[in-house]
Structure 1
């Protein structure tokens, strides 16, 4: 794999993240409505700008994977070191995206190990990378580890070690919704709600506890059971969920990074497209409405 392809993978991952940020209405999550309303403007702008700061780190992760050639403990350690350095750069650029960096970093590295792999194969390779411990990681408790101990939530590490089941389910819903005639934003919102309906989000557990988590699960399922965001009933259920999370101040941020992972996998060339794979070309994402600036 060339350095150019490593950068292409990184840029595709960052594009997936910025397109997740551009999606609206996302219940409890930053989206372009914050800019229009003048509320949360700094937070949303900071997230958009700091997403770009991930590019060098993700490029280095892809290059490290291509150089190593296998999902080894050595690669896991190198990805961890690059990730910690990238987190520092992102904090200087405005902060955020720690969860997305973990998801996208592993998926970018896995995609670099086999440029012809399908999405399912990429997540399986990411699982093999995540199975190795990062022996150089700082031994300090995090919010995610605290929620894991207290409530048994798998957290970001458990999600990766299981092969990113929520990324895979989001990708499946995304593809199915498109086939059913949903618009691209509707398909992406249904994919996000699919994640929200089952993810034991450590951020949400910290803020709302297990009862709040179950309430968010039920609200997300209600949208999907109403037919999804392509239907009037689904749209109304989504609006009710959005208003409720806004009032309560609950933010299921873990779901956002996993949706970005699904959008990244969706951007990879199809396996049959050997010519474009050899050229290192990535399939562009379908057009979505992006905020100005």
Structure 2
């Protein structure tokens, strides 16, 4: 095989792996159980148009989109041109997702959040000496891309735009532009701290979700039920954590109270769920080192 053909094959393999890893993260998130008022293995939560099967179809439909985002990022650096190219791919992927779900928005936020991390991981993989810590660098590259304007974005009255206008909350866009703080500083530390305490993996993932919920201004909650839902989510998640997390009897009782409040408000923390998926994606790429750090590279 000629050198150029070999390099193309390696690049293609990387894009396919990242596409699969991203899809796996979405599948792992939706299967994480129990999640408050969200779709999981118990049922549909506060959603009438979503189910476990619909969420799975959505995730699998996006694997090619995530791979395309990786391919578009190969040989590139963060720039306005790359931002525009990734945005076009993301919008095409959103159309594929909506077709797969028959019009239900299952993963629109995740396309943006996880898609930028796919791009960041691709660019990082091509550096001669990837700087440590790896997770921080992936997120920083993704943030650099997110900070360029998307001049091709349609002028749409989206849920996020309405929440921004009414409450001044930036949502997924601001989370990305600020370097994914709820992934790096909240989700990953909570996930790894739970594992270190010997908590089972399924419970560690729920504890990570709850940790994210305690500080995230979740636009999904605000859109569906306004500040009362956001306050209930933050306080309820903190109560579960304060009582030892989902693996303790006290934490489980607090979780029931949290879910009951959110269900009564017909609200679910979809933004936190997207960030849990992003956390699981980064955890796959940058597993903790032997000393508990976040500096190794696995791809």
Do Structure 1 and Structure 2 share a fold, with TM-score over 0.5?
yes
In structure 1, the partner of 2:191 is 174
In structure 2, the partner of 1:108 is 118
Cα pair 2:232 2:262 within 8 Å, conserved: no
- For residue 93 of structure 1, report the CA deviation from its aligned partner: 0.5
Report which structure shows greater RCO (CA 8 Å, sep ≥6): 1
Stretch of structure 1 that moved more, 208-217 or 83-92: 208-217
1:127 aligned to 2:143? yes
Query: Alignment length, in residue pairs?
Result: 273
1:27 aligned to 2:36? yes
CA gap of 1:197–1:42, structure 2 versus 1, over 3 A, is closer
In structure 2, the partner of 1:7 is 16
In structure 2, the partner of 1:139 is 155
Cα pair 1:24 1:32 within 8 Å, conserved: yes
- CA separation in 1, counterparts of 2:200 and 2:158? 38
In structure 1, the partner of 2:238 is 221
Spell out the pairing of 1:1-293 with structure 2 (5 A cutoff).
2-34=11-43, 43-68=51-76, 70-94=77-101, 95=104, 96-115=106-125, 116=130, 118-168=134-184, 169-270=186-287, 282=299
TM-score by length of 1: 0.88
CA gap of 1:281–1:158, structure 2 versus 1, over 3 A, is closer
Cα pair 1:34 1:41 within 8 Å, conserved: no
Alignment partner of 1:264: what SS? helix
- For residue 212 of structure 1, report the CA deviation from its aligned partner: 2.2
Stretch of structure 1 that moved more, 129-138 or 246-255: 246-255
- For residue 44 of structure 1, report the CA deviation from its aligned partner: 2.3
- For residue 230 of structure 1, report the CA deviation from its aligned partner: 2.5
- CA separation in 2, counterparts of 1:171 and 1:186? 14
Root-mean-square deviation (CA, aligned residues, Å) is 2.1
Stretch of structure 1 that moved more, 257-266 or 141-150: 141-150
- CA separation in 1, counterparts of 2:119 and 2:288? 18
- CA separation in 2, counterparts of 1:102 and 1:5? 20
- CA separation in 2, counterparts of 1:236 and 1:141? 39
Stretch of structure 1 that moved more, 205-214 or 17-26: 205-214
Cα pair 2:214 2:235 within 8 Å, conserved: yes
- For residue 192 of structure 1, report the CA deviation from its aligned partner: 0.2
> 5+ residue gaps in structure 1?
274-279, 283-293
In structure 2, the partner of 1:286 is none
